[in-house]
Amino acid sequence: MIENCKIIDLPKINDPRGNLTFVESGRHIPFDIRRVYYLYDVPGGAERGGHAHRALHQLIIAMSGSFDIHLDDGYSKKTVHMNRSYYGLYVCPMIWREMDNFSSGAVCMVLSSNFYDEADYYRDYNDFVQDAQKGSK
Ligand code: T46
């Protein structure tokens, strides 16, 4: 459900030498981290995402710059603007996500609960909505 997708305010250690943020599995986020990947050198106007995951939990962080994430659980939609490296957007399973409006130099880091598995993806929106609505009945 889209209500479960929330901004998590990560610990931030302020320091005149530069700030430090950390994330601990199962402590700050409700899953254990098995994979980390990041999107960078995203050209202006590009769109990423356009899929949902059956079982994957993720935390999405704007390490640098900004971008928008559009979430959809098959019933409701919401858009979150990401522009702070101490905020993570927790995205639970069965959420369609699209990302756009990347600023120049934006870096999007994603902490994931599992290894890459193409079988976990819905890449067709209609298939996703059908299963999302079936699952919630
Ligand atoms: C998500 C958003 C935020 C891999 O081989 N390993 C990986 O860990 C990932 C994430 C992707 N790939 C391959 C699969 C494709 O051939 O890299 C290619 C591009 O992947 P995709 O089109 O899925 O990338 P995005 O940016 O549209 O989506 C990614 C994640 O796939 C997705 O889980 O939530 O970032």
**Nearest atom in ligand 1 to 121's CA:** 33
Residues annotated as catalytic (active site), given as ranges: 51
Average pLDDT over residues 5-26: 96
Atom of ligand 1 at shortest distance to CA of 118?
14
> Which of 35, 92, 116, when mutated, tests ligand 1's pocket best, judged by the most ligand atoms within 8 Å of its CB?
116
Interval 58-71: pLDDT, tens: 999 999 999 999 99
pLDDT for 35 equals 98
**What's the predicted TM-score (pTM) here?**
0.96
Q: 117 is written with which tokens? A: 């598995």
Give, using CA atoms, the residue closest to atom 8 of ligand 1: 116
Tokens of 41: 């050198």
Q: Give the H/E segment covering residue 72.
A: strand 67-72
pLDDT of residue 135: 75
Instruction: Check the CA dihedral 2-40-103-21 and report its sign.
Output: positive
For residue 36, give Cα distances in angstroms to 3, 39, 50, 61.
Answer: 24, 11, 19, 11
* pLDDT on residue 136: 64
Helices (H), the chain: 125-135
Tell me what pLDDT residue 27 has.
Answer: 87
The answer to whether residue 137 scores a pLDDT higher than 60 is no
